[in-house]
Amino acid sequence: ETGVTQSPTHLIKTRGQQVTLRCSSQSGHNTVSWYQQALGQGPQFIFQYYREEENGRGNFPPRFSGLQFPNYSSELNVNALELDDSALYLCASSLRLTTDTQYFGPGTRLTVL
Amino acid sequence: DQQVKQNSPSLSVQEGRISILNCDYTNSMFDYFLWYKKYPAEGPTFLISISSIKDKNEDGRFTVFLNKSAKHLSLHIVPSQPGDSAVYFCAASVQGAQKLVFGQGTRLTINP
């Protein structure tokens, strides 16, 4: 059983640009959640996808959007990047929608200059 | 509004002794609680969880205690080992809901 993987590991962008982060869930896990972890803080829920549809969203603006694909991969897209978007972005997969144990990838460190 | 709080940013424990990490929550709707461990440059790793219908769950060296009346949970690690040095996050959810709500984390250092 492979774990959750994310790419790229690190990314540097400038304010106003757009970015796409990628995640590959564990095989068979049809639920993926994305979290933002600012320095010194715990992860904050961005949104969750279940069977390719958004299934819940945290307190993040619409410029944060996502996609989930049938092959257990997913994307997080952020438009009009702001300096405060600099953070570690984590994706987590779980086996079922009702399973609360989520398994995390290593994260993508995004720096916005 | 910080619904899950870990009030100790850091904790230092001698190898072989017990480590106790604490977590408080304010939302009485939470009914499922988890502990994650995070090493640098890695994602959080699931450690142990507990449902609100229990007050204790044990897995090897790790035990989680839940006090619903006090809205408090704790993670006990005994005996502590050097490999336990990491940042520990507690998280809470409403079962079946979409999101985990995390505390700020506690950095545990095990000294030889």
For residue range A5-48, what is the model confidence (pLDDT) as tens digits? 999 999 999 999 999 999 998 888 889 999 999 998 999 999 99
B19 vs A62: CA distance, rounded Å: 42
Per residue in B45-96, pLDDT (tens digit) is: 999 999 999 999 999 999 999 999 999 999 999 999 999 999 999 999 987 6
**How far does the CA of residue B26 sit from the closest CA of chain A (Å)?**
16
A32 half-sphere exposure, CB direction, 13 A CA radius? 31
A vs B: CB pairs below 8 A: 67
Cα four-point dihedral sign A42, A93, A2, B32: positive
Per residue in A57-112, pLDDT (tens digit) is: 999 999 999 999 988 899 999 999 999 999 999 999 988 766 567 889 999 999 99
**How far does the CA of residue A36 sit from the closest CA of chain B (Å)?**
11
Identify the contact set of chain B against chain A, taking CB-CB distances under 8 A. Answer: 4, 6, 32, 34, 36, 41-46, 49, 89, 91, 93, 95-105
**How far does the CA of residue A5 sit from the closest CA of chain B (Å)?**
10
